[in-house]
Chain A
Amino acid sequence: MSEAFTRQVVTFGRVLREAGLEVGAGRLADAINGLDQVGLGRQEDVYWTLRTTLVARREEIESFDRAFQAWFLRTPLVPPPRVPDPRETRPGAQRVRRDAQLHSDPPASGSEPESIGYSAHEVLRRKDFAAMSEDESAALARLIAQIDGQRPRRRSRRLQPHPRGSTLDMRRLARSTLATGGDAVHRRFRRRTQAPRQLVVLCDVSGSMEAYSRAMLLYLHALMRSGGGVEVFAFGTRLTRITTELATRDPEAALRAAADRVVDWAAGTRIGASLKAFNDVWGRRALSRGAVVLIVSDGWERGDNALLGREMQRLHRAAFAVVWVSPLKGSDRYEPLAGGMRAALPYVDRFVAGHDLASLEALAELLSGLGRRHAA
C-alpha cells in the first residue's frame, strides 16, 4: 500500500481516538495489513475492513460511521442529534442550592467526625438520613464504610481442594500414589466453591429520594470493594448505569453525575419506564438472571402503574430475589397504599426500610443471608 494511504489510515486513527474509540498501534497495524489483503478497489470493502479492525464494541459503530463519512467520503460532519441536556432545562435554583452546600464553610465548633462518641453514634444510627446536618452526613460516610460488606452467595461450578469435599481430586491423587506404588494412602477431595451472587441495584435518585440514595450509594461503594458482580443503575425519569463511576471515583461525585443525567426535576419519577429500560437492555443480556435485585425507591410512580406492575413481574421472574428498600417503610404508620407501590408489591420478596443507619445495617445482614425467595 502506498505510503500516502498508510498515512491516511494513521490520521484516521487519530480522528477515531478523538471520537472516543480506543485505537492503539496494534489495531492500526491490523487495519493496514487488512487493507493490504483486501485492496482499495471497493469503498464498501475498505469500510468493512477498517470497521472490523478498528471497532471493538457495538456502541462504537455509530461514531466510527460518522468519522468514516467525514474522513474518507469528505462529507461535512453533521453534528450528532442533540440529546437535550437536563442541566439546561432544569430550574437553576436546584444547582445553586447544591453548590452552596458544597462550598459552605464547616462550622467552627469541634464537631469533627472522629469526636462523635458512643451515644452520639447511637443517635446517628437512628436518625433519618434526610434530617441529618452536613457534619452528621460526613460522619455517616465513615460509619457506612464500616458496615460489613457481606454478599449473598451461590454455589459456583468451580472445584477447589477441600478436606471434606465429595469429588476425588484425581490429579493430586495420581501424583501422590507415585510414592506408594499405586496405593492411594491419602485420598484427596475437591468440592464446589461458593461465589458471590450477582447483585443488581436500581436506585431512585429523584428529588424526594436524594438523602436516602446518597446513603445507599455510599454503602454500595463500600460493598463493591468486596468483589465483582455488583451492577448499579440510577433512575429518575430515565435509567443510567453508574457502576463504573461508582467503582472508580468518589461516590458523591458519581451520585451528582447520575442525578444530572437522569433526573428531570419537573417530570417526576417514572419507575415503570425505568424498569422497562433495564429489562429491555440489561435483562435481555441476562444480567438479572439469578441475581439479587435491590430496588431503592419510595415507590411514588408518576407514570403508568400497570406498566410498573408488568415490568416488576418480568424482573421478578428472572431474578433470584427482589428486595425493595423504601425510606417510607421506616415509619410505623406507613402503609403501601400509593398506586405504584401497590402494583409492585406482589413481585417483591423482601420489603425493608432504608431511612437510617440501623436499617442499612439490617439490610446488610439480610443480604448476607438471603437464601430463599418469596418470603416477604
Chain B
Amino acid sequence: MSEERQFESIEDVELALRAQSYLPERGLATALFVSLAIGKPLLLEGEAGVGKTEAAKALANALGARLIRLQCYEGLDVAHAVYEWNYARQLLHIRAAQEGSVSEQELFGPEFLIRRPLLEAIGSSDPVVLLIDEIDRADEEFEAFLLEVLSDFQITIPEIGTIRAERRPLVILTSNRTRELHDALKRRCLFHWISHPALEREIEIVRMRVPGVSERLATQAAAFVAGLRELDLVKAPGVAETIDWTDALTALGCGDLDPETVQQTLGAVLKYREDLDTVQGETVSELIRHARAVGSAAPP
C-alpha cells in the first residue's frame, strides 16, 4: 500500500488513477475530486462492464487508503453489513463464569463484537474507501438503513452506544439500475453516469491493461467493439469485454483481425446466443473492414 495522500486538483486525480492503470474520463475525475473535497458519497451508475467497481479500487490504491467492500444482495441485513455478536464466544464466556454471574454489560462489550464492513469503515482510524457495490440488489429495508449511515456517518449499537466516524470514509456506491433507487438516498449522494469510453480512450485503456498488445490490434479491437455497440444487441459489450477479448486475441498470436479468429473468440465479447447469431458472416466482415481501416495507421 502506498503513502496516504490527498488531491490538490482534478489533474491530480487523473494522474493518480492513471498510475493505477485506470484511465478516467474528465467527468469521473471531477466527480471523485468533488466527492472527496466536500465529503459526500458518490453514486456511480452505468452499463455493466464500464468500470464502476474498478474506479473505486483504483481510487483506494491511489489514496493509499484501505478498500472496504460491501457486496449487496437481496436480504442483506444488519448482521452481515454492520455488526454481529460473537455468540459462540458469549456462550463460552457465560459457561466459564459459571459461579460468578455475568453482567449483560460484560457480555455485550467490544470484545464480543464482530465488525462487518459498514462498522469497520465507520470505526476505522485509517483512511478508508468504502465501496457499496450493486446497491440496487439490496432490498428497500437495507436502503433505508443505509440512509442513516450515509447522512450522519454514525452507527448505533443498542448495547454499546453510538460509534461516530473519526474521519469520514469516502463512500462510493455503484448501481446497475435493476431498480430505481430511493430519492432520499440519491439526495445524499453525488451522481455520475459512466458511459462507454470514446474510441481513443478505449484504445489507451486496452493498451494499458493488456500487456504486449500491439497498437494496431488494440485499435482494431476497440474499433470493432465500438461497431458492435452500434448494432441492436441484447447486451452491448463494455470495456471489460474489450480487454478480455484483446487478451484472448493476443494469446492466440493474432496480429490483424481476421474473420476466422474473430468467430472463434467472439464469445469473449458477446455473452448471449442471440447476439452471436446477429453478428455473423457479412456483419463480421463489415465490422472487420471498418476496424482495419481505423487501425491502418497504427504500427503492428
- By a beta-carbon cutoff of 8 Å, the part of chain A in contact with chain B is 22, 24, 26-27, 30, 33-34, 37-38, 44-45, 48-49, 51-53, 55-58, 61, 156-159, 170-171, 173-174, 177-178, 181-182, 184, 228, 279-280, 284-287, 310, 314
User: CB-nearest residue of chain B relative to A53?
Assistant: B190
Partner among B31, B94, B102, B139 whose Cβ is within 8 Å of the Cβ of A48: B31
Q: How far apart are the CA atoms of A44 and B30 in the complex, in Å?
A: 9
Q: List 5 A-B pairs, Cβ < 8 Å.
A: A33-B37, A45-B10, A52-B42, A157-B73, A181-B101
Partner among B26, B42, B74, B180 whose Cβ is within 8 Å of the Cβ of A44: B26
Q: How far apart are the CA atoms of A119 and B240 in the complex, in Å?
A: 66
Lowest 10 A-B CB distances belong to which pairs? A157-B75, A48-B30, A170-B87, A37-B37, A182-B94, A52-B31, A34-B34, A182-B95, A286-B178, A48-B27
- By a beta-carbon cutoff of 8 Å, the part of chain B in contact with chain A is 10, 26-27, 30-31, 33-35, 37-38, 40, 42, 45, 73-75, 77, 79, 84-85, 87, 90-91, 94-95, 98, 101-102, 104, 107, 139-140, 176-180, 183, 186-187, 190-193, 234-235, 274
Hey, which chain B residues are within 8 Å of A56, CB to CB?
183, 186-187, 191
User: CB-nearest residue of chain A relative to B25?
Assistant: A48
User: CB-nearest residue of chain A relative to B102?
Assistant: A178
Hey, which chain A residues are within 8 Å of B101, CB to CB?
181
Asked whether A37 and B38 contact (CB < 8 A) given A174-B90, A178-B94, A285-B176, the answer is yes
A45 touches B30 (CB 8 A): yes
Partner among A24, A26, A52 whose Cβ is within 8 Å of the Cβ of B192: A52
Hey, which chain A residues are within 8 Å of B38, CB to CB?
30, 33-34, 37
Q: Is the interface of A mostly helix, strand, loop or mixed?
A: helix
User: CB-nearest residue of chain A relative to B112?
Assistant: A174
Hey, which chain B residues are within 8 Å of A182, CB to CB?
91, 94-95, 98
Hey, which chain A residues are within 8 Å of B26, CB to CB?
44-45, 48
Hey, which chain A residues are within 8 Å of B37, CB to CB?
33-34, 37-38
A330 CB to nearest B CB, Å: 35
Partner among B35, B77, B187 whose Cβ is within 8 Å of the Cβ of A24: B187
Hey, which chain A residues are within 8 Å of B190, CB to CB?
30, 52-53
A226 CB to nearest B CB, Å: 16
A30 touches B102 (CB 8 A): no
Partner among B74, B85, B193 whose Cβ is within 8 Å of the Cβ of A58: B193
Total of A-B residue pairs, C-beta within 8 Å: 113
A287 touches B178 (CB 8 A): yes
Q: How far apart are the CA atoms of A44 and B45 in the complex, in Å?
A: 20
Question: 5 other contacts beyond A52-B30, A182-B95, with CB at 8 A cut-off?
Answer: A52-B27, A156-B74, A157-B74, A285-B178, A285-B179
B210 CB to nearest A CB, Å: 27
Q: How far apart are the CA atoms of A55 and B43 in the complex, in Å?
A: 11
A228 touches B74 (CB 8 A): no
Q: How far apart are the CA atoms of A51 and B75 in the complex, in Å?
A: 33
Q: How far apart are the CA atoms of A173 and B88 in the complex, in Å?
A: 11
B185 CB to nearest A CB, Å: 10
Asked whether A22 and B183 contact (CB < 8 A) given A49-B30, A182-B95, the answer is yes
Asked whether A174 and B107 contact (CB < 8 A) given A34-B38, A48-B26, A52-B30, the answer is yes
Partner among B40, B74, B75, B186 whose Cβ is within 8 Å of the Cβ of A57: B186
A57 touches B178 (CB 8 A): no
Partner among A22, A38, A157, A171 whose Cβ is within 8 Å of the Cβ of B87: A171
B34 touches A49 (CB 8 A): yes
Asked whether A38 and B10 contact (CB < 8 A) given A53-B34, A56-B187, the answer is yes
Hey, which chain B residues are within 8 Å of A284, CB to CB?
234-235
A174 touches B85 (CB 8 A): yes
Q: How far apart are the CA atoms of A45 and B26 in the complex, in Å?
A: 8
Hey, which chain A residues are within 8 Å of B187, CB to CB?
24, 26-27, 56
Q: How far apart are the CA atoms of A24 and B77 in the complex, in Å?
A: 31
B274 touches A314 (CB 8 A): yes
Hey, which chain B residues are within 8 Å of A49, CB to CB?
30, 34
Partner among B27, B87, B98 whose Cβ is within 8 Å of the Cβ of A181: B98
Q: Which of A33, A49, A55, A171 has the most CB of B within 10 A?
A: A49
Q: How far apart are the CA atoms of A53 and B191 in the complex, in Å?
A: 7
